[in-house]
């Protein structure tokens, strides 16, 4: 991984995700911090990246690297975690039953991806599908169920739906442009994730050979 | 050598960007003017528009409170100046004050403005030496606004009609 990519490009991409993902323009609270559950999900997401080989932490932080390089590596890991938490918060509805279902949905999907330990490409594709489907559910399906724009008939149907579900499904109206910001955050996050230093063939072989060498010496 | 420069510069750039994002989370600005003003204030380069401030004071003394607030808002577009925020809060107080009842709709934003003034003042202490005002400190104004927003038995005291606007 080049110095420019490690010290500048990747951390700036992840910080931009943290900024864009937290923005709520046109609301009293401009920036929203990630929820506590999003922090748990972010741990799983980083775990998925490490397990799949999409992220090799030993290429960012190890004792043989100079302190400055280790500092850059630590910044990459911290910003990755912050961006993960923010992206997952953006994709989660704000309240009600959808919040509970989305959190469960993301937890199960990420845990499943972590356990199956796919390779890097499959893990990235899987993340793209998870983020894409959560985006469509929140910003297309749920937003249209909660939107009061449109004709009288639509308003009546929304009110009926709200009454039938005891108000547990409909959400606060999303601020204008929030869907675009979320889309940008997801796109940047995927670019940043693809740019992370992954496991190379050499490091993989070295890791795989290490236990065997140790055992043979003991014998 | 070049790598070290890039890595060191990267750390600084990322640190500055992260500090900016952290400031956005903490300050919660609502407009780009507030973002600009906040950044300018952080390097000591923020100034109130003196002409608009003078207009605001003139309107305030003539009891033209909406006009005064508009001028004060123009003078302190980033809402970073404690004195201007104090005058805005005072304008809400004087407009909302009533002999029989106070207007909650005006006292509530007044309380927000005076809290902002206190938060911006060094050490939270703010006094304004204006002979036209009867409350010179932000603490007095805040207490008066809070009293106006509180419902208690003294609201039904008929002698209230003899009190004076400060």
pLDDT digits (tens, 9 = 90+) for B72-93: 999 998 888 999 999 999 999 9
Residue A23 lies in a domain: yes
Mutate to test the interface with B, among A6, A7, A10, A82 (most CBs of B within 10 A): A7
Give contacts of B11 with chain A, Cβ < 8 Å. 7, 68, 71-72, 75
Q: Is-contact A18 A83, C-beta < 8 A?
A: yes
Range B121-148 average pLDDT: 92
Which pairs from B109-116 meet CB under 8 Å and 24+ separation? B110/B141, B110/B145, B111/B142, B111/B145, B111/B146, B111/B149, B113/B85, B113/B86, B113/B88, B113/B89, B114/B85, B114/B86, B114/B89, B114/B138, B114/B141, B114/B142, B114/B145, B115/B142, B116/B79, B116/B82, B116/B85
CA–CA min distance B8, chain A (Å): 7
Stretch A198-211: mean pLDDT? 64
Number of domains in chain A: 1
Cα–Cα distance for residue pair A142/A93, rounded to 1 Å: 8
The answer to whether residue A96 sits within a structural domain is yes
The pLDDT assigned to A30 comes to 79
Q: A30–B9: do the CB atoms touch at under 8 Å?
A: no
pLDDT at res. A216: 45
Give me chain A's average pLDDT, please.
84
pLDDT reading at A219 higher than 90: no
Give the domain extent around A38.
3-198
pLDDT at B3: 86
What is residue A217's predicted lDDT score, i.e. its pLDDT?
45
| pLDDT at A207 > cutoff 70 | no
- For residue A70, give how far its alpha carbon lies from the nearest alpha carbon of chain B (Å): 10
Closest CB to B10 among A22, A31, A72: A72
A204 lies in a domain? no
Residue B134 to chain A, least CA–CA distance (Å): 33
Q: What's the mean pLDDT when you consider all of chain B?
A: 89
pTM over 0.80: no
User: Cα(A20)–Cα(A17) distance, rounded to whole angstroms?
Assistant: 5
A67 to chain B, any CB pair closer than 8 A? The answer is: no
A163-167 long-range contacts (CB < 8 A, ≥24 apart) are: A165/A97, A167/A96
A18 and B30 within 8 Å at the Cβ level: the answer is no
Instruction: Select the residue of B7, B17, B25 nearest A72 (Cβ to Cβ).
Output: B7
- Which residues make Cβ contacts (< 8 Å) with residue A89, sequence separation at least 6? A21, A22, A32, A34, A35, A38
Tokens of A123: 């893990």
Tell me, what's the pLDDT at A148?
Answer: 65
Mean pLDDT along residues B80-109:
92
Find the angle CA(B69)-CA(B61)-CA(B120) to the nearest 5 degrees. Answer: 45
Domains belonging to chain B, first-starting first, are 48-162 (1.25.40.10)
**pLDDT category, A202, cuts 50, 70, 90?**
low
Interchain proximity A28–B30, CB inside 8 Å: yes
**Residue A22 within a domain:** yes
pLDDT given for residue A78 in this prediction: 96
pLDDT for A218 beyond 50: no
The ipTM (two decimal places) reads: 0.80
Within-domain flag for A206: no
Backbone angles phi, psi at A40, to 5 degrees: -65, -45
At residue A81, the pLDDT reads 96
Q: Which structure tokens are listed for B28? A: 């919660």
Whether the pLDDT of residue B99 is over 60: the answer is yes
């Amino acid at each position: 991984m080049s110095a420019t990519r490690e010290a500048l490009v990747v951390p700036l991409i992840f910080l931009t995700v943290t900024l864009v993902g937290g923005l709520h323009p046109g609301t009293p609270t401009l920036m929203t911090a990630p929820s506590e559950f999003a922090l748990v999900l972010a741990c799983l997401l980083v775990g998925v990246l490490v397990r799949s080989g999409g992220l090799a932490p030993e290429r960012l932080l190890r004792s043989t690297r100079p302190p400055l390089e280790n500092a850059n590596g630590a910044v990459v890991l911290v910003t990755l975690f912050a961006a993960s938490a923010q992206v997952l918060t953006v994709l989660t509805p704000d309240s009600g039953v959808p919040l509970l279902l989305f959190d469960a949905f993301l937890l199960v999907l990420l845990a499943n991806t972590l356990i199956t330990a796919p390779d890097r490409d499959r893990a990235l594709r899987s993340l793209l599908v998870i983020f894409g489907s959560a985006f469509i559910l929140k910003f297309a399906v749920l937003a249209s169920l909660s939107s009061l724009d449109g004709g009288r008939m639509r308003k009546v149907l929304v009110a009926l739906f709200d009454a039938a579900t005891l108000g547990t499904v409909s959400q606060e109206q999303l601020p204008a442009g929030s869907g675009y910001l979320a889309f940008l955050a997801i796109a940047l996050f995927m670019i940043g994730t693809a740019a992370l230093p992954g496991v190379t063939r050499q490091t993989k072989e070295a890791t795989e050979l290490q236990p065997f060498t140790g055992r043979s010496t003991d014998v | 050598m070049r790598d070290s420069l890039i890595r060191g510069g990267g750390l600084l750039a990322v640190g500055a960007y992260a500090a900016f994002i952290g400031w956005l989370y903490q300050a919660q600005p609502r407009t780009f003017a507030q973002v600009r003003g906040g950044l300018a204030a952080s390097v000591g380069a923020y100034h109130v528009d003196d002409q608009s401030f003078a207009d605001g004071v003139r309107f305030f003394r003539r009891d033209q409170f909406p006009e005064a607030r508009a001028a004060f808002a123009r003078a302190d577009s980033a809402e970073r100046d404690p004195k201007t925020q104090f005058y805005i809060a005072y304008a809400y107080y004087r407009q909302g004050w009533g002999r029989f009842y106070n207007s909650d709709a005006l006292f509530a934003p007044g309380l927000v403005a005076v809290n902002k003034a206190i938060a911006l003042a060094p050490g939270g202490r703010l006094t304004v030496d204006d002979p036209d005002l009867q409350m010179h400190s932000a603490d007095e104004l805040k207490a008066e606004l809070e009293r106006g927003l509180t419902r208690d038995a003294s609201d039904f005291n008929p002698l209230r009609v003899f009190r004076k606007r400060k």
